[in-house]
């Protein structure tokens, strides 16, 4: 797994916005990513991986005259499953997480992975990055809300020690679905840090080296 985590950069915004639109319903208020980059109370991290080929090259290939139709189809498939824009040259953003810091609490405001890349461990990597960022900033707990029906997300959070501490009734405006409020135990304790180290070791054994750069 080559996916790496680093803070959001201005050049990533188009791709991150695409991922936000793809992951959340139209009713989700669009994030003002440009403003959030400069907000000292928030951190946005992106998961990205270097692309093997520039999109322009991939896009040009299907147009070329050739009898090798299977090659063309393969190229077209590769082109269609890529994000339409790349940030820094050769970097494809495949997921992001947003966090907001208030007093002792780090709150995860959004997390999403590009649909075609789900189930590969990228969401988990973003959670690892978020918890590391919370620790770096001296937060005591990490909290978030999830749709009661979003078992995939809840299962990911539970793995990192989040537990269900309450319900916000009709929290989501599109279908008035309830949100489950989840929080970690204190992350600034040796006990949690030990568990967190073990979880990261487990991740490394399954997926490979973790590469995370924080601000
Ligand atoms: C939630 C989300 C970020 C998870 O990202 P992901 O990259 O697919 O997840 P990972 O591959 O890292 O999986 C991590 C854990 O998530 C859970 N998970 C992932 N896919 C799952 C599935 N299809 N069924 C059940 N659990 C699943 C598992 O606990 C998994 O751990 P495991 O590999 O040890 O079983 C992603 O599904 C997503 O973007 N969903 C749409 C947006 C969203 O719902 N965001 C959350 C808002 S609260």
3 state SS of 36: helix
Q: How far is the CA of 124 from the centre of ligand 1 (A)?
A: 7
In a domain, 124, yes or no: yes
In a domain, 66, yes or no: no
* pLDDT of 81 higher than 50: no
Cα three-residue angle 156-11-125, rounded to 5 degrees: 20
In a domain, 58, yes or no: no
In a domain, 212, yes or no: no
Q: pLDDT of 122-144, one tens digit each?
A: 999 999 999 999 999 999 999 99
**Catalytic residue chosen out of the listed positions 44, 48, 157, 203:** 157
**Catalytic residue chosen out of the listed positions 145, 160, 192, 203:** 145
Domain total for the chain?
1
Q: How far is the CA of 150 from the centre of ligand 1 (A)?
A: 9
Instruction: Give the tokens for residue 19.
Output: 């991922």
In a domain, 9, yes or no: yes
In a domain, 37, yes or no: yes
Instruction: Give the tokens for residue 44.
Output: 């946005």
d(CA 170, CA 103): 26
Q: Taking all residues of the chain, what is their mean pLDDT, rounded to a whole number?
A: 86
d(CA 132, CA 185): 14
CATH number of the domain within which 23 lies = 3.40.630.30
Which residue owns the Cα nearest ligand 1 atom 30? 156
In a domain, 56, yes or no: no
In a domain, 213, yes or no: no
Structural domain range at position 164? 4-51+86-207
- Give the pLDDT of residue 53: 54
Burial class (CB in 10 A: 0-12, 13-18, 19+), 207: middle
Q: How confident is the model at residue 46 (pLDDT cuts 50, 70, 90)?
A: very high
127 close to ligand 1 (CB < 6 Angstrom): no
- Give the pLDDT of residue 27: 61
Residues pairing with 209 in the sheet:
none
The pTM for the full model equals 0.86
């Amino acid at each position: 797994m080559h996916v790496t985590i680093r803070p959001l950069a201005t050049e990533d915004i188009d791709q991150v916005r695409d991922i936000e639109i793809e992951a959340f319903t139209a009713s989700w208020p669009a994030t003002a990513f440009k403003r959030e980059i400069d907000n000292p109370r928030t951190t946005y991290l992106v998961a990205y991986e270097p692309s093997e080929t520039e999109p322009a090259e991939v896009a040009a290939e299907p147009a070329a005259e050739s009898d090798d139709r299977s090659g063309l189809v393969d190229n077209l498939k590769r082109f269609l499953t890529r994000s339409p824009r790349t940030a820094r040259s050769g970097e494809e953003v495949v997921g992001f997480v947003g966090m907001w810091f208030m007093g002792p609490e780090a709150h995860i405001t959004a997390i999403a992975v590009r649909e075609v890349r789900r189930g590969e461990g990228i969401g988990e990597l973003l959670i690892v990055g978020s918890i590391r960022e919370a620790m770096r900033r001296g937060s005591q707990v990490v909290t978030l809300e999830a749709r009661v029906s979003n078992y995939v997300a809840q299962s990911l959070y539970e793995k990192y020690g989040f537990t269900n501490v309450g319900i916000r009734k009709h929290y989501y405006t599109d279908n008035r679905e309830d949100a489950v409020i989840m929080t970690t135990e204190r992350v600034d304790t040796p006990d949690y840090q030990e568990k967190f180290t073990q979880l990261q070791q487990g991740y490394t054994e399954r997926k490979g080296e973790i590469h995370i750069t924080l601000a």
